[in-house]
Structure 1
Amino acid sequence: MKKIISPAPLLYPSPVLLICTYGSDGRPNAMTAAWGGICCSEPPCLSLGIQKSRHTWDNITERGEFMVCIPSETLVSETDFFGIASGRHLDKFAETGLTPVASDVIDAPYIEECPMALACRARDRMHIGSHTLIIGEILSIQADEEVCGEDGMPSIDKVRPLLYDAHTKMYYSVGENAGKAFSSGLKFRQNVYEP
């Protein structure tokens, strides 16, 4: 029997993302976000839940573009700091020693030390309650060569992204492979997937 629990922002896993923008003064900024994920395949898009009170919300509204950096588990302290300090009051990059790099694709920086970054242009937004849902179209992906597999694409076991548990407020790393998608379920019936 399942226990009934009050509604909460709880979904496993939640990716930990660093949203990078430029402020109105041209200064690079980044914030930590865990309310995000892929929301469309064609065109490739992701969604972010960001509070209107955040400096990053203002920056995305003003410039319309942002980078979504994927921090590895080695950057847990820096990533946490980017979520507890405001870019309105200090330079988070100077505080942490991380390196902002201007994107060649959009008007936003990425973090050099993050193994992967997605260049996004804001397509739509919807005010939900405490957060605004921002839809960003992924225009390009940048990844360090050492985190790419033989197929040239980033590999989750090499990127080693951080995950977040909203209940315990703890960061986690990725576990082991549990099965292959669009294949493991075929033991019940063959040829069920029709694109």
Structure 2
Amino acid sequence: MMKQKWKPGNMIYPLPAVMVSCGNHEHANIITIAWTGTICTNPPMTYVSIRPSRYSYELIKETGCFVINLTTRRLTKATDYCGVKSGKDRDKFKDMRLTPSYENETHCPMIDESPVNIECKVKEIHELGSHHMFIADILNVYVDPHYIDEKGKFHLNKTDLIAYSHGAYLTLGKEIGTFGYSIKSKKKVKNTNKMK
């Protein structure tokens, strides 16, 4: 059968499901974002794309900073809630019993329950259409020491991260390979066929 042709749309899945915290001590908020990712390694840069109608849009525009908080299975309900409720009339930190931490360079709230907090400073805003893209420098990364072993290695995949795919939250599942495994040298298999 031939594949069906659909109209243009975003079908790149799965995506990260992250909670982006923003604002300050007086007006702290959380928005769940799927449109985010890495755009440069050196210097380290990222982005989030947000609709201008969202409450967090103005907070980020005013303060010039935000924090990307990675999410886990335990944070799934909070991740969903922070994506469907507005911070205009709700205190999402309080509603979801999340702990704001301001111990960072920008004093932008971080979610203490997240295993990884990525502190970002806005560099540019691109008005693209339905969403505006905030391109940002990554200032600092904060990690939960519970996932650091005695040799100093951080085990991110043991934090039980979740992803978002086509309307559903998913766990990442088991490891099926590691970076570069497809080209690692293999032991030569001896030819056991004998010429007759």
Q: TM-score, normalised by structure 2?
A: 0.86
- 1:76 Cα deviation from its structure 2 partner: 0.7
Matches within 5 A, 1:20-35: 20-22=21-23, 26-35=26-35
Q: Distance in 2 between matches of 1:151 and 1:48?
A: 33
Using the TM superposition, give the Cα deviation of residue 183 of structure 1 relative to its aligned residue in structure 2, in angstroms.
Answer: 4.2
Count of aligned residue pairs for this structure pair: 185
Give 1:75's aligned residue. Answer: 75
Paired residue type of 2:100 = P
Q: Take 1:174 and 1:118, find their aligned partners in 2: how far apart are those partners?
A: 20
**Dislocated runs of 4+, deviation >6 Å:** none
Q: In the aligned structure 1, how far is the partner of 2:156 from the partner of 2:18?
A: 14
The CA distance in 1 between the partners of 2:109 and 2:15, in whole Å, is 23
Larger gyration radius, structure 1 or structure 2? 2
Equivalent residue letter for 2:122: A
Report what 1:191 is aligned to: none
Q: In structure 2, what is the equivalent of residue 174 of structure 1?
A: 172
SS at match of 1:32: strand
**Contact 1:16/1:161 (<8 A) preserved:** no
Supply the distance in 2 between the matched residues of 1:7 and 1:149 (Cα, whole angstroms).
45
| Alignment of 1:48 onto 2:48 | yes
The amino acid that maps onto 1:55 is Y
Mapping of residues 1-195 of structure 1, within 5 Å: 2-22=3-23, 26-149=26-149, 152-165=152-165, 167=166, 169-185=167-183
Displacement of 1:159 after TM fit? 2.1
CA separation in 2, counterparts of 1:87 and 1:130?
20
Cα gap change, 1:179 to 1:151, in 2 (>3 Å): farther
Secondary structure, aligned partner of 2:60: helix
Q: Which runs of 5+ in 2 are unaligned?
A: 186-196
Give the whole-Å Cα distance in 2 for the aligned partners of 1:46 and 1:155: 22
* SS across alignment from 1:78: helix
Q: Which amino acid aligns with 2:170?
A: Y
Match of 1:48, SS? Answer: strand
For 1:68 and 1:11, the matched residues in 2 are separated by 20
Structure 1-normalised TM-score? Answer: 0.86
Structure 1: unaligned runs, 5 residues or longer:
188-195
CA RMSD of aligned residues (A): 2.0
Q: Please tell me whether the aligned partners of residues 66 and 107 of structure 1 are also in contact (alpha carbons under 8 angstroms).
A: no
